Chains A and B, each alone.
Chain A
Amino acid sequence: MSYKSSDIDMRYAQQHSPEHVQYMRRNRRMRTVVVVLRVSILIGIFVLWEVAARLGWIDAFIASQPSRAWAAAVNLARRGELLMHLGYTVGETVAGFVLGTLIGIVVAVLLWWSPFLSKVLEPYVVVLNSIPKVALGPIFIVWMGTNVDAIVAMAIAVSVIVTVMMVYTGFTEVDPNKVKLLRTFGASKLQVLQKVVIPSSVPVMISALKVNVGLSLVGTIVGEFLVSKAGLGFLIVYGGQVFNMSLVMSSVILLSGVSVVLYYLVSRLEESVVKWRE
């Protein structure tokens, strides 16, 4: 929140002590400084990078430079390929984290439903969680072919076990007294699940979704490295092979943009879903 107009300042000053107005002013100045510094750092890096390349401090052939990266992106866009590659990466990632989260939740429900099953499967979940899932990539490709399916499978594999663990833990931490309350009304197990366990775990599910955005992106990029047909991951690998570092750099920057936007969207979803918490 910012109080730009002096009109608001005036009214504010009338309602609060001078010390408090002082405090608020200092507070606001602090926040402005933080934002300005953040932006300057980003601009500074790009400027320094560009200058260093032009003055020959670094080799632009292997380090590229912002202007060339920009040109590479514009070039791709002109040929209409930029949106296509972006679309693949975004689509695969979204499919990965949505499906990964959903499948994870379903498995967590099964484990909650049967404490016996969860007891039996516990070591498997722990071991699966510790396996580096990207090592499974070649297996998916052999099974599903060098196509989008294998990449989405990769993205799911990376996120699903974490989801199971997070959501199942959330389920087990539901206040037992809330469950008891429902049971006093004669609720069935399904009703306990519907009316308490799932609604009180919504925040946990959204956290899982947030974590999964990042994880699925990793899965997708590794998948695209391996499948090598389309997507930002493909551009990065391809650029590296033909020593087109500008293409690599512009793809990496785009990738950062994609992850920021996806994370932001999920945060917005969180705000709207969890509105009763405010």
Chain B
Amino acid sequence: MSLVTINGVSLVYHDPEGETRALHNVNLSVEPSEFVVIVGPSGCGKSSLLSIVAGLIKPSSGEVYVGGERVTGPSRRIGYMLQHDYLFEWRTILENALLGLEVRKEKTRESVAEVRELMRRYGLGGFENHYPRQLSGGMRQRAALIRTLAVRPDCLLLDEPFSALDYQTRLRVAEEVYGILKDENKTVIMVTHDIAEAVALADRIVVMTPRPGTIASEHRIRFECAKRTPLTTRRLPEFSGYFNAVWRDLDSFEGEVQAVGGGEL
């Protein structure tokens, strides 16, 4: 049975300037342990879709189920990682990692020990009492990931998690984060605008249309190799085939986007 089910979700934003149709009839199912990557033109509603799955905003119509339960508010089975790490500069790394547990009033001796163990396992041992500004971009992103993992979600939503990093760091952090997520056997829905990154990480790529976003196509990504990591896949012969297929789908919208309203981009 699928872990996340998105059923006919549409979303309209209302503000004084008028209304924006952000999403239209989105349907998607994600299996346990699957890594789904969503790509689409900017402004097509990818972030909005993740916010709906996370229970932060309510869809105008349609519904979302996580583990069979209807999402009506922030769910404890979902972890959300934003584009920047948003570590709180007044908290130490450990205190940052404990934020979710504090909010949920689940900060106990055992849960703190678990978070310390996560930090040690993923290369942040010894940095518990450092402040965010003392860490490199990659370490900060890992700290943000541990903050998300600390509350033990089944499914992680990642919204362009690497786009704030420079290219070198980005490749390395993607490698690390992928390793951690596989290690912890998490289900992932990730948004990116980097096609190569999508192919390198995904089990399945979902391409969305321009606003109002709906699902245009899906690509199942399979590599013939023993132990898959983002960097090794980039060197495999199948890589460019997948890349081109996704790129063609996205490129087919180019004319439309300009015709619809280039002024808003």
A-to-B contact residues, CB < 8 Å: 175, 177-178, 180-187, 191, 195-196, 199-200, 202, 276-277
Contact = CB atoms under 8 A, between A and B. Distances in A.
B67 interface: no
Interface residues of B, number: 23
B73 A195 contact: no
Nearest to A192: B103
Interface stretch (B81-89, B182-190, B212-220, B223-231): B81-89
B103 A276 contact: no
Contacts of B172: none
A186 B82 contact: no
Q: Is the interface of B mostly helix, strand, loop or mixed?
A: loop
B158 to A, nearest CB: 12
Interface of B: 54, 56, 73-74, 76, 78-80, 82-84, 86, 88-90, 99-100, 102-104, 131, 133, 151
B54 to A, nearest CB: 6
Given A175-B86, A199-B90, A186 B99 contact: no
A198 to B, nearest CB: 10
B82 A185 contact: no
Contact of A184 (B79, B88, B90): B79
A180 B100 contact: no
A260 B126 CA distance: 43
B74 A195 contact: no
A183 B102 contact: no
A183 B56 contact: yes
7 contacts: A175-B86, A184-B54, A186-B103, A195-B102, A195-B103, A200-B90, A202-B90
Most buried by B among A186, A199, A202: A186
Contacts of A196: 88
Given A177-B83, A180-B56, A195-B88, 17 more contacts: A177-B82, A181-B82, A181-B86, A181-B99, A182-B103, A184-B74, A184-B80, A185-B99, A185-B103, A186-B76, A186-B104, A187-B103, A195-B102, A195-B103, A199-B88, A202-B90, A276-B90
